Amino acid sequence: MVQLEIIEPARALPVLSSTDSSNLLAYAQFHYLPKPEKKPTFLDRFRAKPSDHHPISLELITPDRWQRWQDDRLVAQGANTLGRIPLVHIQNVVVPFEYAGASEVEPLIPLQDELNTRLSDRANRITFQSFKMYLGKGIETFNEHPVAPGRMWMTDNENADILTFGGDSNCPSEDAHLADLREAMDKISSVTPIAAGAIKNRIGRLTSAAALRITLLALLSRTEKKRTAYGAGIQQICELSLAWLDHAGLFATTPDERRIEIHWPSPLPENDLEKLQEADAKLRVGVPKEIILRELGY
């Protein structure tokens, strides 16, 4: 069996060439082994707590050999019959001349902090200004009978008045600032409010694929980049798996036969009738039938 394992970045250490970041010289990964169970000794009874030391297993893989170390002791080793490091590294966001790549969340952190600050200020203001205050002028019994539902006052003073102040007033500049922050986050993340389900205005009936493609252009572009990056990784995984089976003598293949092609489905809803009409038009102009059937998913 060919076993595929996802390596967490926290327990992996790539050894790169000093002149070329794409040249991987060796790859090391470590993990903690289960702590051996043993009875406490006489000295453990006087310690504050028993020892929490866990054995550490380190696996070092080079194109020629592999080694397994446990607590600085070499416990196993052997030759790497594949002749290359069986590793497929996929960057989430590809960055030239870097191994780790870039983060999608890191550019959003300053905007999210600013948005949290402004929303916190608004919540604090609403808390202290949510209740209105009233000032009665020229009304003798205003202090004795405070404002209440159904309360009425009567006076003969023509200059009497009740002034209302306080409460959460409208702040157009604050609303515009919050809207700009959310729009900036949508642009950086490439996730439009329509894709996130937050449709606030009427945008019409998006029934055609062309209208949806224009509306979700940023998200579709990002999806295509992800498919390119992860598609290349899937191809390398399949190639390595077939190479292992070939070297083990279980399934003989040539380097050309290990190459695969990935066909991603369209992320937009498609009309089957339109696809069949398009396939019929391609068939009439001379496109091979095998290619048309493959595009249709058959």
Q: What's the distance, Cα to Cα, between the start and end of the chain in Å?
A: 30
Which residue range(s) make up the domain with 4? 1-37+53-87
Does residue 126 fall inside a structural domain? yes
Half-sphere exposure of residue 226: CA atoms within 13 angstroms, side-chain side: 11
Query: What pLDDT was estimated at residue 25?
Result: 92
Query: What pLDDT was estimated at residue 235?
Result: 93
Query: What pLDDT was estimated at residue 266?
Result: 79
Query: What pLDDT was estimated at residue 142?
Result: 80
Q: Which of 168, 185, 202 represents a domain boundary (last residue)?
A: 185
Query: What pLDDT was estimated at residue 45?
Result: 59
Does residue 191 fall inside a structural domain? no
Query: What pLDDT was estimated at residue 99?
Result: 82
Does 68 share its domain with 135? no
Does 4 share its domain with 78? yes
The CA angle 140-142-146, to the nearest 5 degrees, is 160
Low-confidence spans in the chain with pLDDT less than 50: 50
The answer to whether residues 56 and 62 touch, using CB atoms and an 8 Å cutoff, is no
Counting Cβ atoms within 10 Å, is residue 34 exposed (0-12), middle (13-18) or buried (19+)? exposed
How far is Cα 32 from Cα 58, in angstroms, rounded to an integer? 9
How far is Cα 275 from Cα 178, in angstroms, rounded to an integer? 43
Place of tokens 């009874």: 45
How far is Cα 101 from Cα 57, in angstroms, rounded to an integer? 27
Query: What pLDDT was estimated at residue 59?
Result: 92
Place of tokens 């999608």: 104
Report the run of H or E that residue 144 belongs to, with start and end. none
Query: What pLDDT was estimated at residue 285?
Result: 92
Query: What pLDDT was estimated at residue 109?
Result: 93
Query: What pLDDT was estimated at residue 276?
Result: 87
Does residue 79 fall inside a structural domain? yes
How far is Cα 219 from Cα 213, in angstroms, rounded to an integer? 9
Report the run of H or E that residue 137 belongs to, with start and end. strand 132-137
Query: What pLDDT was estimated at residue 213?
Result: 76
Does 23 share its domain with 74? yes
- Give 100's DSSP letter: S
Question: String of b and e for 213-236 (b: at least 16 CB within 10 Å)?
Answer: eebbebbbebeeeeeeeebeeebb
Q: What are 60-101's pLDDT values in tens digits?
A: 999 999 999 988 889 999 999 888 899 999 888 888 878 888
Q: What are 207-223's pLDDT values in tens digits?
A: 666 777 777 888 888 88
Does residue 202 fall inside a structural domain? no
Q: Which of 122, 125, 111, 107 is nearest to 180 (CA)?
A: 111
Does residue 69 fall inside a structural domain? yes
The answer to whether residues 85 and 27 touch, using CB atoms and an 8 Å cutoff, is yes
Does 23 share its domain with 77? yes
How far is Cα 78 from Cα 105, in angstroms, rounded to an integer? 41
Does residue 274 fall inside a structural domain? no
- Tell me how many domains the chain contains: 2
